[in-house]
Structure 1
Amino acid sequence: MVFRIELRRSIAPWAGLALVVVALGFLFLLSGPWWKVPAPWTGNTTTTALWLRFLLVFLWPIAVGAGAIQGMRDSRSGMVELLSTTSRPGWHRAVRLAGAVGALCALGVVVVFGVGLAEVLGHGGFVSASFLPVLVVGLLAVVAGSWAGLAIGRLLPHPLTAPALAVLTLVVSVLAWTSIERNVVPFSYSRFELLAPVLGEPRGALVTTSTAVDLGQTAWFAGLAATGFLLLAAGSTRARVLSLLPVVVGAAIALPVFPASADGLLAPDGIAAQKLCDGPICVSRAHEDRLAALAGPGREALAMLAKLPGAPTRIEERTSPASVTDPPARDPGVVYLDFQLNDVLLTADASTLRTAVLSGAGLPTCVRPSYGDLADLGGRMIAAAYFTGELKPLPEYGGSWFRRESSPVEQAWQKFRALPAEVQFARIVALRHVLLTCQGDPLDTLVPGALR
């Protein structure tokens, strides 16, 4: 009964509603990165949870600020002295107030994830339990933030406390994001940034948070929540000082556990990234429907490549997150296909899949993901045409840009196919060396002076 009264007379319902409105407004109204490759928020429930953690940059300050507003209620109503004379322990009232605010804030996050789950199911995405650690830590962070706000609002009942605290939390969240966002912004990684619940934008649909991040943040936010609640219930200076112990212990546990570098923040999703193979052809479990489609053209392409020295013998889906600054890793014995970055492969026919395997004579680009590089795309395109006899656009990121600029490559293809067979073979072998070492110009290796 008392809990229901707290729900009605507190800011809790409005705080939860604010979280829902802001999060869904970002996801549905802004053309942000959350619906684009390589990590669409509707493609995998774990990716949905990761995008929700990214949005805590904006949602966490709302929860903290709302808690501070609610924490000032007794002071604003002039009831502090009256309540201090009652015989009921302070934690009795604190547990109902903190429970109402924390529960409704957490419910708001759950509602947003529920909408995301419906979107994943509606788009035929991948559903697994891997999202649970990501979501649970996010919920704990929101509850801890709201309780910390309640405590600060009670201790500092000034009209500027709530807005100042919300702005400070937003600044801290943004700074934490800039440190965590790998290779995008010029700030170095620090373990202290993981004391905020935000994560960088997902760069792949087959990853999740590492165990070190989950365990460290669980310890930290549990300590922060305990300190917030104890400060809210404390009635003496000594009790307030002792209330700081949980947050200190939480930080002492969390900081050594956190990854030493940004490379340890994410790990392969043990379920979605699990490899399923048909002989030498392997795809992730999240894309297992592509295995049957790839098996035939994949074996055909491997047979074509087999005449090259050191030819690849396997085809595997790339499961690591896509880097925005570095070219993809390569292996002379493996042809990697990236269904995350090149989502056209998810619906490609046999001919297109074969072209994807043969591009670059089985090797990926040496340039970072962008709208394309004419020399790189052109060289890998001619390499595929060498085996098939037909010059076709490559099914990959940047293909639409390339189609508008392909005239020089078509001319280079005509010159290349006019060369003697042994010269063509030697240049394809040289192209593989260029793409393995990322030293040289792919198109110029096949047709010297093609772009001059």
Structure 2
Amino acid sequence: MSAPTTARPAPAAPHTGAAPHPWRSELRRGIAPWAGVAVLLTSAVTMGAKAAEWQGDWAGTHGLLRWTTMLVLGPLVAAAGCLQGGREARRGTGDLLRQAVRGRPARTLAALGPLVVCVVAAQLVGAAGVYLATWPYSMGGGPTWGHGLLHAADTVLLAGLTAVGFVVGRVVRWRGAGLLVALACYVLFSISTYVGTPLTWLTPARQPGLSEDVPALWLAPVIAVWTGGLALTVLTGHTARRKLLALAPLVAAALAGTVLVQTGGDAWRTDPRAQRLVCDGGAPRICVTERHRNMLAPAGEALAGLRERLAGAPGLPERFVEDPRGHRVRRGSGEVQLPMFTPLGRTVVRGELTDHAVFAWEATAALLFPDCPEPAGGELEEVVWSHLAPAHQRNLTDPAAALERAKRYGRTEEVARTRTALKKLDRLRALPEAERAAWLGAYLSAAQRCDSSALPTL
């Protein structure tokens, strides 16, 4: 009689579930998400450090954001791509992967695709956040479709730099290659920016110096073909079995580059909103360009005291005008140039005038000193200036401070001249309102005509 046998359990059926997608693994355990976070944080810190210079000005926001994308984010993503490309060499798995069923293009897409997606997504989110930050402080106007398309072209630039860095990481098996790639990108873009040749227009973020210009709609696709074609040439030459396939994107990039060089600044035109004026109903009127229409109320508030002191004076200019593009304020035209709002950070910060007193003082300077060959203000110049803009510190409003400044020169003539000016300022303020208005009108009319002989006495 044989011994009983113990029944063994049947072996488990092999797991038939699909293997996780390579992109899922890269997004969970690779550097792609961290690269996206780095791009987002770098953009936020770089733009935030200069917020006073762009927040409120759509054109300034657009320009600085594109330069940040090229000069800061570009080297960063190139280094990230190089780090990703050299991963197999660092791990020693290059020979094993070359024996895999998947070809080089599929392996490259699996390793590079998630990184590009994260980088581009982070750049778009950062750009949207920057524009949202400038919106509450907008001076007026807004970005055009051409501006938006250029940001789309910038995503092609970042994707291309990531791909080029990836190829360098695959070819150059040195741990410090990423740092050199980032440095090379920064130097290349920086030098090409300041080279005074038509080739400068090949720089992806190149644009005219005047912020009033807007790009043509066809410019962004051409830039995308230029930068994307070069990157695709490098990537195709590395991954494709038939290297001649790399000639197609190379030819497309060459044609796009030729268009950029030949057109140059002609791809940009003056924004009509920078030429149209909007005015208030005060006297003299204040007129600003449509791009800065939200500054009309702050400017009127800053010049309220000046308008009040000029009330009733005959022969005044009709309006204070922000100098629009293609228009020059000239004497005798009934216009006086308004102080400039841009570049931001001095007169205007986050949609507000930084100092109403200084703004009124500068407007008074334009009123008293038109473009004369020689100033016609005479000895009463400082007296009138102090009366019209008394809030500014460097005038005769504070007699003690004025005499102290005069004594610093160490000359009795300067002290005597200051005492005389103080007496005349008191005399001007003591005049009856109608007589003072008539005197100011006569003085300002003579100053606007650059006629020193017609200046009234006091």
TM-score (normalizing by structure 1): 0.66
Q: Write out aligned runs for 1:92-107 (5 A).
A: 92-107=106-121
Q: 1:196 is aligned with what amino acid? A: T
Structure 2 partner of 1:5: 25
Deviations 1:419-438 (A, max 9, x none): 9x999989866754779xxx
| 3-state secondary structure, aligned to 1:165 | helix
Matched, 1:144 2:160: yes
Q: Determine if the alignment matches structure 1 residue 120 to structure 2 residue 153.
A: no
Letter in 1 for 2:156: L
Residues 21-420 of structure 1 mapped to structure 2, 5 A cutoff: 21-28=41-48, 30=49, 34-36=50-52, 40-55=53-68, 56-80=70-94, 82-84=96-98, 88=102, 90-121=104-135, 123=137, 128-130=142-144, 131-177=147-193, 179=194, 189-198=196-205, 214=220, 216-240=222-246, 244-259=250-265, 268-269=270-271, 275-278=277-280, 281-291=286-296, 294=300, 307=315, 312-318=317-323, 330-332=329-331, 333=333, 334-337=335-338, 338-340=340-342, 342-343=347-348, 346=352, 357-361=363-367, 386=384, 389-392=387-390, 407=405, 413-414=421-422
| Cα deviations by residue, 1:174-228 (Å, 9 ceiling, x for unpaired) | 2234x1xxxxxxxx52333343344589886x66557686465333223234324
Question: Which position in structure 1 is the counterpart of 2:40?
Answer: 20
Change (3 A) 1:281 1:189: same
User: What is the CA distance between 1:62 and its match in structure 2?
Assistant: 0.8
8 Å CA contact 2:347–2:359 kept in 1: the answer is no
141 and 385 in structure 1: CA distance in 2 versus 1, 3 angstrom threshold = farther
1:421-440 → structure 2 map (5 Å cutoff):
432=448
The alignment partner of 1:112 has SS state of helix
Q: Distance in 1 between matches of 2:371 and 2:117?
A: 49
8 Å Cα contact 1:300-1:354 kept in structure 2: no
SS for the counterpart of 1:288 is helix
Alpha-carbon separation, structure 1, partners of 2:368 and 2:30: 62
- Name the structure 1 match of 2:14: none
AA aligned to 2:131 is L
Q: Report the CA distance between 1:52 and its aligned residue.
A: 1.8
Report SS of the residue matched to 2:278: strand
Q: Output one character per residue of 1:362-418: Cα deviation in whole Å (capped at 9) or x when no partner.
A: 66799xxxxxxxx99x97997696499445256xxxx88999996569668548768
What is the rounded CA distance, in whole Å, between the counterparts of 1:86 and 1:27 in structure 2?
45
**Which SS does the other structure have where 1:159 is aligned?**
coil
Question: Are the counterparts in 2 of residues 284 and 317 from structure 1 also a CA contact under 8 Å?
Answer: yes
Of the structure 1 ranges 138-147 and 223-232, higher mean CA displacement relative to structure 2 is found in 223-232
CA, structure 1 residues 354+85, in 2 after alignment: closer, same or farther (shift >3 Å)?
closer
Give the match's secondary structure for 1:315: strand
Letter in 2 for 1:102: V
**How far does residue 148 in structure 1 lie from its aligned partner after superposition?**
1.9
Q: Give the whole-Å Cα distance in 2 for the aligned partners of 1:381 and 1:217.
A: 59
Identity of aligned residues (%): 20
Q: Secondary structure at the match of 2:265?
A: coil
Mapped partners of 2:389, 2:192: distance in 1: 47
The corresponding residue for 2:5 is none
Matches of 2:225 and 2:397, distance apart in 1: 52
Contact 1:65 1:165 in 2 (8 A): yes
Separation in structure 1 between the aligned mates of residue 439 and residue 307 of structure 2, nearest angstrom: 26
* Contact in 1 for aligned 2:341/2:348 (Cα 8 Å): yes
3-state SS, counterpart of residue 24 of structure 1: helix
Q: Which runs of 5+ in 1 are unaligned?
A: 180-187, 322-327, 367-374, 436-441, 447-452
For 1:52 and 1:354, locate their aligned partners in 2 and report how far apart those are by CA, in whole Å: 32
SS of match in other structure, 1:258: helix
Cα distance between partner residues in 2 of 1:381 and 1:148 = 68
* Residue 81 (structure 1) shift: 5.0
Amino acid at match of 2:348: D
- Conserved in 1, the CA contact under 8 Å of 2:55 and 2:137? yes
Question: 1:60 Cα shift?
Answer: 1.1
Q: Does structure 1 retain, via aligned residues, the 8 Å contact 2:386–2:397?
A: no
Deviation per residue, 1:7-49 (Å, 9 max, x gap): 3344322222222233333344x5xxx233xxx3221344323
Give, as a single letter, the amino acid of the residue that structure 2 aligns with 1:317: E
CA distance 1:388–1:6, change in 2 (3 Å) = same
Measured in 2, the distance between the counterparts of 1:401 and 1:9 equals: 67
2:9 is aligned to none
Gaps of 5+ in 2: 1-20, 407-416, 429-435
Q: What number of residue pairs does the alignment pair up?
A: 395
